[in-house]
Amino acid sequence: MRNPTRRGLIVAGAGVLAAPSILGSSAWAQGAFPNKPIRIVVPYPAGGQTDGIARVYGEYLGRKLGTSVVVENKGGAGGTIGVAEVKRAPPDGYTVLCTISSSLIQNRVTVKDLPYDPEKDFTYLAMTTSLGGPVVAAEKTGATNLKQFVEYAKKVDKLNFGAYGPGSTPQMLIETMAKQYGFKVEVVQYRGEAAMFADVAAQALDGGAGSPAGAAAVIASGKGKAIAMMGDRLPAFPGVATMTEQGAVGGFYETRAFAVFAVPVATPKDVSKKLADTLFEAGTDEKVKALMANYLIVGPLDMEATNKVFQRDTKIMLEVMKEIGIKAE
């Protein structure tokens, strides 16, 4: 056995002196947070709205916390791959999730053996929500408002309406409407809203619903008409009333699409709070405000408000999915 060197004794002594602090605070032992790069995992491909939110907020996070922030796109399986990766990550604040409602709420119903528990596996930090999204009727329907669209739906044998995934907002919207107003509908699934709205423009579908950006081209062409808004009225369509204003009844019509930041649930509370507070402060940044205006989203909500909205929307959406019979395929 070698004799202990002076350097070894110093290192060993430092470890003994640090031991009480390690027991008292794991974050202290690792150094002040953050002391290495942070990665934000987006469970969808690059270039989409969620990716854009993650990158702009990530840039602010890095600037304010004095570290680099890298966004990693881990798409596939309806968002489950990326979300599951964050669940498995060390709970130290250096891996942050940025995702949307479908991976955290709808996937509980549409995905068998979901590899994570959205209620138990994560701490939710901050959230952005959409202002609203247009419900678009194809030109062939002749509809200019919700009442006329419902009248058309009752005349045809079966309404063909586009959606982009089981449990997606368009599917929940039209099936809720079909149940409320008493018409038959066939939901046609697409991989994304671009292809869906292209078929609305081609008159292959009777209608669809989605984001303002996704619907802009078909509305501008005159091949589709915005007949109602999910959520709030939009400045770009001041004359288009909301679903609720036009008589649609139900909590689902008041929900908003959201993007939320989260960390593994065992992340130290002080680290989670530091991240949450910084993400909330990002709302004052000019780059972030420009992004919000471009995407027609509001927020960010603070940690308390984020969790209230998440719990409220979870309850509403799961009830709606049960009522209209959406199940795992």
Q: Where are the domains of the chain?
A: 32-130+257-324, 132-254
pLDDT of 324 reads 85
Is 196:93 a contact under the CB 8 Å cutoff?
Answer: no
Question: Per the CATH hierarchy, to which homologous superfamily does domain 32-130+257-324 belong?
Answer: Bordetella uptake gene, domain 1 (3.40.190.150)
Provide the whole-model pTM: 0.80
Please check whether the two domains, 32-130+257-324 and 132-254, share a CATH topology. yes
261 phi/psi in degrees, rounded to 5: -100, 140
pLDDT of 268 reads 98
Query: Comparing C-alpha atoms, which of 121, 147, 109, 98 is closest to residue 264?
Result: 121
pLDDT tens sequence for the chain (329 residues): 444 443 333 333 333 333 333 333 444 345 699 999 999 999 998 888 899 999 999 999 999 999 999 999 998 888 999 999 999 999 999 999 999 998 999 999 999 999 999 999 999 999 999 888 999 999 999 999 999 999 999 999 999 999 987 888 899 999 999 999 999 999 999 878 889 999 999 999 999 998 888 899 999 999 999 999 998 899 889 999 999 999 998 878 878 889 999 999 999 999 999 999 999 999 999 999 999 988 888 999 999 999 999 999 999 999 989 988 888 76
Query: Comparing C-alpha atoms, which of 257, 303, 7, 279 is closest to residue 131?
Result: 257
Q: Which residues contact 212 (CB under 8 A, 6 or more apart)?
A: 132, 133, 134, 234, 236, 296
d(CA 95, CA 88): 10
d(CA 162, CA 110): 18
Beta-sheet strand order (sheet of 207-209): 185-189, 159-163, 207-209, 132-138, 224-231
pLDDT of 147 reads 98
The yes or no reply on domain 132-254 and CATH 3.30.70.3270 is no
